[in-house]
Structure 1
């Protein structure tokens, strides 16, 4: 026998699976939920429990007059017994009125769909369907930004502006990174697969912005000119941050280029002849095959000993096939494991180009119960780091890809 609470749970399940159909198609529906009514034998054996079940339903029905209990007669050894067999509900509005959360969601969904439907140019209901749950759950401020953004992009499809120049109050780079998919859906634009904007904290690249007619900021590259003679060619600067074309145009020809994941670790490295350090690229690893003076240099990579670090290493190696890693091996992890911490961040799998040593180190990051640890670059003592880097830059090729 189903209690009122059980039926409410069934109503929740039905609503979650079907509310978008009702909303987008304007469907009307009637509903009937079977109560798993007791048999005559059950009534005879458990009369007290059946009486309480009937009383619970009568009390519930009195409090919810829009729903109707369907009844029937059961013949028992003690005579005919009235029981309830179904709960019948005439309309969608009557259905959602049975639960405050459903009523609130349905009201908000209808109000927002009305405003979305009124956007200039119209919206494709089926194109928008996958995004509706997130759009309905947006807070009011974000929903207003969404509407304003869609209107502006409709009127200015090829503005050529950068994100911060778009005159939509409240829209900034991180907002668009989080909500770009919804904006495109409202504009009836299908995004390209695997766009970087699917990750809310990542910067939007030009391919992400093209459908909106926007322009990305030029990528700036951080380099350290560790050779004093090459610094003289760049006005004596040791630390240089400049757009990619200017970095590519530097009049340098290093023998060794060390790519370092984090700025703090890069600053640790002392002067060294014919050496350049490239650091803090984040996910902008696509620039690596666009810097000409990298081609003839020995290329090394030092990143965090964590899952994300190995993913970044693999992506860098996809651009630079001869890239060798430094301090990303089981020995470094084992010697400094006491300095590792829990890794609770999400990480994409690496490209399939890690060496056996790197794969072993990645495997060693796994702990019991599917947990992971991470050893950040900065936590490894500097004497050990500088010794290992010196060995690698002097010609130790034990961890270079085949």
Structure 2
């Protein structure tokens, strides 16, 4: 018998709580009471055949009534005569719903947040209406969040680091941990000119609201001693800000990008050469380096679907980029060192050369086996030396 029980009724109201509908009403959201709950009871045949069970079911519902109201109906049965059975179940008020769930204290806390917000930042009431449960989670921090909102309203696009905000009880880790929430709040109160609409998401928080961000950095090695930047005989392994790197305009003709740090450190000398330690997807640290547009760029990544996806992305910024040691011959020579690409890329890549596309398609189609992958650090060093020699002679074919 699948008849509605008091626990089922409570579950229905709990779902309203979980959706935030009960609390949002306290902040001016939609009023949803009185509300009829779903009720499933016995049919005519069950009234005859399971009368004892029906009587117990009625007693169970009636015994738990109080937070909810039962609307009764009379049933005239040819054997049992006239009987009253539940026809509808209603929750008449928000207070009744909160009492049923034991959430009155939580609702009082939320109501206090609403009152505080109406007093200090009334433009944020829609956020409380939309995100009531999240605001309850932040109840202990809410006053500080309002302080930060008020501060930024008075110091639009401040041009300082988050660490420099001087508010009692507020530190940079607190702000960084709640950037998602603060961004939603800022968007509700700041003037359009105080927001950089071209940047979104947590990663773009500082730029969007005019704070100083950690500078992007570029790590590189000079592969030709005659172009050394440091007056030492040590390895020219240098890390600078993206802005500094963009202004160097180094007199090199060939730039190599590798994703593996050991490959970066072991990369052999190359006349007029430089190697950059890449960082997987994303080339924000290189996109503004305009002098790279005028040099040959060689990308050395893993021979797997993601390696080609990164190459495809790199070509969106530097169309002249060529792949290095990412051909099918290199892959097959190192068959015993293959691994598995745990989450293969499957989309079409529009910026690959025909030869690269053939390798990529065979990888995503499992032509050589299930999710084949060859990590770049497993490629023999002699293969790198050989391909660099071919490159220096000018007889390296486009992959």
**TM bracket, shorter-chain basis:** 0.7 to 0.9
Aligned to 1:249, the other structure's residue is in SS state helix
| 8 Å CA contact retained: 1:311, 1:350 | no
Q: Structure 1 CA distance, aligned partners of 2:329 and 2:108?
A: 60
Deviation at 1:126, TM superposition (A): 4.1
Aligned to 2:11, the other structure's residue is in SS state helix
| 2:211 aligned partner | 214
CA-based RMSD of the aligned residues comes to: 3.8
Matched, 1:18 2:15: no
Aligned residues: 380
CA-to-aligned-CA distance 1:109-147 (integer Å, 9 cap, x gap): 434333433334x32544665555544444745x45533
Aligned to 1:258, the other structure's residue is in SS state strand
| 8 Å CA contact retained: 1:256, 1:300 | yes
Q: TM-score, normalised by structure 1?
A: 0.77
| 2:5 aligned partner | 3
| 1:224 aligned partner | 221
Summarize the alignment of residues 287-366 of structure 1 with structure 2, pairs less than 5 Å apart.
287-304=285-302, 309-328=307-326, 335=334, 340=339, 343=342, 352-356=350-354, 357-358=356-357, 360-361=359-360, 364=363
Summarize the alignment of residues 105-254 of structure 1 with structure 2, pairs less than 5 Å apart.
106-107=107-108, 109-120=110-121, 122-126=122-126, 134-138=134-138, 140-141=140-141, 143=142, 145-168=144-167, 169-172=170-173, 174-175=176-177, 177-188=179-190, 195=199, 197-198=201-202, 202=203, 204=204, 208-231=205-228, 233-236=229-232, 238-250=236-248, 252-254=250-252
Deviation at 1:3, TM superposition (A): 2.2
Aligned to 1:184, the other structure's residue is in SS state helix
CA-to-aligned-CA distance 1:283-337 (integer Å, 9 cap, x gap): 6613434324322321111234566554443332111112122344566566458
> What 5-or-longer segments of structure 1 have no aligned partner?
none
Aligned to 1:83, the other structure's residue is in SS state strand
The 10-residue stretch of structure 1 (278-287 or 69-78) with the greater mean CA deviation from structure 2: 278-287
Deviation at 1:227, TM superposition (A): 0.8
Q: Structure 2 CA distance, aligned partners of 1:158 and 1:331?
A: 54
Task: Note closer, same or farther for the CA distance 1:7–1:123 as it changes in structure 2 (3 Å cut).
Answer: same
| 1:396 aligned partner | 396
Aligned to 1:295, the other structure's residue is in SS state helix
Matched, 1:278 2:276: yes
Q: Structure 2 CA distance, aligned partners of 1:189 and 1:127?
A: 17
Q: Structure 2 CA distance, aligned partners of 1:192 and 1:267?
A: 39
Larger Rg: 2
